[in-house]
């Protein structure tokens, strides 16, 4: 009685639980103990721990539309709940999303499904064809296990082994196939009703549930030592049965072991525990794809599997009665490599789209969004994390969206100019990057526009930019003309003038001018002065013209020399007066060319000109005179009498000063040189080598040099008289 009350309480709790929860499965909890029944457009839940009757089975969910078979499988379609119900109505697989059935878009030509972790198997009861579906594409034909054996249904365990009940004979049997479609075990079925079509079939571990087209229709039993005895439970309306994938059923065997998890993600580790009978003495484990790959000892502990795949784990034992071995299938699922793509550097106020990778998975963002793509407009730099899930495997990724402030660009500087003026434009804020419309990249530019011009600058901080514009207005200068620079030599007033502009002028310095604001003042100052005329303009673009005036006082130049004649080598004293400064030209033969009284020693005819200038080097006055230069005479006598009377005793060259004798030679009639000298003070005394020469005619050769550099040869004869 206590057991019944407890069972009734569990039933009441389970019914309340179904009503309170969303219509999704929890195969990790209480739902793994239930048998789910396809009946029309309903899925009903049967609890084997409770009697069959009112309220058991109970309505688990109403689909609204008839289904074609029923299976429970894990997430075989991106975005589906895990696990959930599948059906293959209308030649396509559909899955229950908690509110309705949604098509996967994948086809299968048969109706009767059975679901596991990674696969759904569907059977054509008439032909025995088994089709395999992995959630990624249309179902494909796996093998043929024989038709018309009934029930037309399959059961699948959590290692994706599938089971088929053959009830066309008595006793019947249950055949066990691995995911490759290879028969790996079988069990004897007693108490089965003859069935060649229709019906339903499901298993929870070693528990077997079957629906036949008989009365009673519902049977169950447990596989013990490879045999199941089916016992009638009662009548129920059912066209298909399904259960959560559970521990595989096993025929009688000495070798046995359990795995902590039969389906894992790549990189996970599992623990193997020996369950063998008859006290084995040795254990040899083989772990394909595992680390380590083999082990000895009863319990090998933890083994890790890094690569996805389906691995058959084998245990070989030795015991007193012999040896035995068994295998278990471990499924290692791939772990999705989560990543986030999108623009991670944005400006404040901009939006970015973050995309979860890879595609076709389930997603959970840190902001609770579950879409693959999320659009964000963060106000500050923010971190986002993502969980990508495929089946039971998940990976995480994170990304930081860097939000940069947008600079507020500005331009400062003089924006009103006169033509020819320059302005320095400075961009703000300081300390970032700049790109001016002129091509410059400095914070400031200096420009001299001839016309009004618009300047712009792009101010960039990190990846964010702003643009500022400055319009520089250029006014033309007033254009005018002014009197040319002028030299006045007589000290008289000079009339100045300026024209152009708008007729408004201002002169400075105004002292010594007859007026300051007129166009034609008179300047009266002596000396040198520069006067400026400002052409006034209403825009402030005034032009300034200048003129230099030199007004020299009067003077009279007097030259005190007249034309004269001198001998070569003589001097002449030049003299001028009346001027502040003097310049004599040419300057040859003068002692100082800028004196009023230089000394001239010309060696040739020459005309000297004197120029008198004022104190300011201007207003020249000139005068000139001519000097005729006579060449000096060279005198040679035609006879001499070396008789010692003191008169005409020596034959010599007589000349004026500054004449040099370069050569003086005497020859006798036979051409013998009897005298030679270069000293003008010496002469021939009528002797040759100390011997007085006979009276006769002799010949001389003389070469003289004049002060102007010219030379002259003199030849002739002389008579020696005794």
Per-residue pLDDT, 361: 86
Tens digits of per-residue pLDDT, 130-187? 999 999 999 999 999 998 888 999 999 999 999 999 999 888 999 999 999 988 888 8
Residues whose CB is less than 8 angstroms from the CB of residue 719 and which lie 6 or more positions away in sequence, other chains included: 638, 639, 695, 696, 697, 698
Contact 206, 250 (CB under 8 A): yes
**Residue 18 pLDDT > 80, yes or no?**
no
The class (CATH top level) of 339-403 is: mainly beta
Question: Residue 582, Cα to own-chain centre: how many angstroms?
Answer: 77
Give dist(CA 198, CA 213) in Å, integer: 7
**Residue 78 pLDDT > 70, yes or no?**
no
What is the fold, at CATH topology level, of the domain defined by 410-475? Immunoglobulin-like (2.60.40)
**Residue 488 pLDDT > 90, yes or no?**
no
What's 231's DSSP letter?
E
The class (CATH top level) of 558-630 is: mainly beta
* Torsion sign across C-alpha atoms 214, 217, 222, 223: positive
Q: What is the mean pLDDT of residues 693-701?
A: 93
Per-residue pLDDT, 1: 29
Instruction: Return the bridge partners of 599, or none.
Output: 573
**Residue 22 pLDDT > 50, yes or no?**
no
Tokens 């009503």 locate to 19
All CATH 2.60.40.10 domain ranges of the chain, comma separated, are 257-333, 410-475, 480-551, 558-630
Q: What is the mean pLDDT of residues 469-481?
A: 88
What is the fold, at CATH topology level, of the domain defined by 257-333? Immunoglobulin-like (2.60.40)
Per-residue pLDDT, 28: 84
Q: Whole-prediction pTM value?
A: 0.41
Tens digits of per-residue pLDDT, 191-230? 999 988 888 999 999 999 999 999 999 999 999 878 899 9
The class (CATH top level) of 2-242 is: mainly beta
Q: What angle do CA 372, 377, 382 make, to 5 degrees?
A: 85
**Percent of the chain at pLDDT exceeding 90:** 56
Tokens 């794809």 locate to 289
Per-residue pLDDT, 6: 31
CATH number of 634-720: 2.60.40
The second-level CATH assignment, the architecture, of 480-551 is: Sandwich (2.60)
Instruction: Find out whether the peptide bond into 429 is cis, omega within 30 degrees of 0.
Output: yes
Tens digits of per-residue pLDDT, 539-591? 878 788 899 988 888 888 999 999 999 887 788 999 999 888 999 999 999 99
Instruction: Return the bridge partners of 411, or none.
Output: 427
Per-residue pLDDT, 428: 93
Per-residue pLDDT, 3: 32
What's the mean per-residue pLDDT of the chain?
88
Q: What angle do CA 214, 219, 222 make, to 5 degrees?
A: 155
């Amino acid at each position: 009685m206590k057991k019944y009350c407890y069972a009734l309480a569990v039933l009441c709790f389970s019914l309340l639980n179904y009503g309170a929860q969303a219509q999704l499965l929890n195969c990790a909890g209480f739902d793994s103990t239930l048998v789910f029944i396809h009946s029309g457009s309903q899925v009903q839940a049967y609890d084997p721990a409770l009697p069959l009757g009112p309220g058991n089975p109970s309505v688990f969910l109403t689909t609204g539309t008839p289904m074609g078979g029923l299976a429970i499988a894990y997430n075989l379609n991106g975005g589906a709940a895990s696990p959930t119900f599948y059906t293959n109505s209308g030649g396509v697989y559909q899955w229950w999303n908690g509110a309705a059935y949604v098509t996967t878009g994948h086809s299968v030509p048969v109706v009767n499904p059975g679901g596991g972790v990674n696969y759904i198997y569907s059977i054509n009861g008439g032909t025995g064809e088994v089709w395999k579906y992995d959630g990624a594409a249309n179902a494909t034909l796996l093998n043929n296990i024989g038709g018309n054996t009934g029930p037309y249904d399959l059961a699948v365990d959590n290692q994706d082994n599938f089971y088929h009940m053959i009830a066309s004979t008595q006793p019947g049997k249950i055949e066990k196939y691995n995911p490759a479609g290879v028969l790996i075990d079988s069990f004897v079925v007693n108490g089965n009703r003859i069935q060649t079509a229709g019906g339903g079939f499901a298993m929870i571990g070693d528990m077997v549930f079957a629906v036949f087209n008989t009365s009673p229709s519902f049977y169950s039993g447990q596989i013990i030592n490879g045999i199941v005895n089916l016992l009638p439970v009662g009548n129920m309306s059912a066209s298909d049965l399904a259960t959560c994938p559970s521990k595989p059923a096993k025929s009688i065997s000495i070798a046995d072991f359990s795995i902590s998890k039969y389906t894992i993600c790549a990189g996970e580790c599992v623990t193997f525990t020996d369950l063998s009978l008859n006290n084995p003495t040795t254990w040899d484990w083989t772990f394909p794809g595992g680390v380590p790959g083999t082990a000895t000892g009863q319990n090998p502990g933890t083994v890790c599997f890094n690569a996805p795949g389906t691995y058959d784990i084998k245990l070989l034992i030795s015991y007193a009665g012999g040896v035995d071995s068994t295998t278990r299938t471990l499924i290692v699922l791939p772990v999705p490599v989560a990543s986030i793509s999108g623009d991670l550097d944005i400006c404040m106020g901009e939006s970015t789209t973050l995309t979860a990778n890879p595609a076709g998975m389930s997603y959970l963002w840190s902001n609770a969004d579950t879409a693959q793509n999320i659009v964000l407009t963060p106000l500050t730099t923010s971190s986002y994390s993502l969980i990508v899930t495929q089946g039971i495997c998940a990976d995480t990724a994170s990304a930081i969206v860097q939000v940069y402030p947008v600079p507020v660009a500005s331009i400062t500087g003089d924006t009103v100019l006169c033509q020819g003026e320059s302005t320095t434009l400075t961009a703000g804020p300081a300390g970032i990057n700049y790109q001016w419309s002129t091509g410059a990249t400095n914070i400031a530019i200096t420009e001299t526009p001839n016309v009004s011009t618009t300047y712009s600058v792009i101010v960039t901080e990190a990846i964010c930019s702003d643009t500022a514009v400055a319009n520089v207005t250029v006014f033309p200068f007033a254009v005018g003309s002014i009197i040319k620079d002028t030299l006045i030599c007589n000290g008289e007033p000079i009339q100045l003038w300026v024209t152009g502009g708008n007729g408004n002028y201002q002169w400075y310095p105004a002292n010594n001018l007859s007026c300051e604001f007129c166009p034609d003042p008179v300047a009266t100052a002596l000396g040198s002065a520069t006067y400026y005329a400002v052409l006034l303009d209403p825009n402030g673009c005034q032009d300034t013209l200048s003129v230099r005036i030199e007004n020299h006082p009067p003077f009279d130049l007097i030259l005190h020399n007249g034309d004269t004649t001198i001998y070569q080598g003589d001097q002449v004293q030049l003299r001028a007066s009346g001027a502040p400064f003097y310049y004599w030209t040419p300057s040859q033969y003068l002692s100082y060319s800028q004196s009023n009284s230089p000394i001239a020693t010309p060696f040739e005819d020459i005309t000297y000109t004197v120029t008198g200038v004022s104190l300011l080097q201007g207003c020249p006055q000139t005068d000139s005179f001519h000097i005729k230069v006579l060449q000096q005479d060279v005198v040679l006598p035609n006879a001499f009498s070396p008789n010692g009377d003191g008169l005409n005793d020596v034959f010599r060259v007589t000349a004026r000063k500054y004449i040099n004798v370069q050569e003086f030679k005497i020859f006798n009639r036979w051409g013998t040189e009897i005298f030679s000298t270069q000293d003008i003070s010496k002469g021939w005394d009528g002797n040759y080598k100390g011997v007085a020469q006979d009276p006769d005619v002799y010949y001389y050769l003389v070469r003289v040099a004049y002060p102007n550099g010219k030379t002259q040869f003199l030849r002739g004869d002389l008579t020696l008289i005794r």
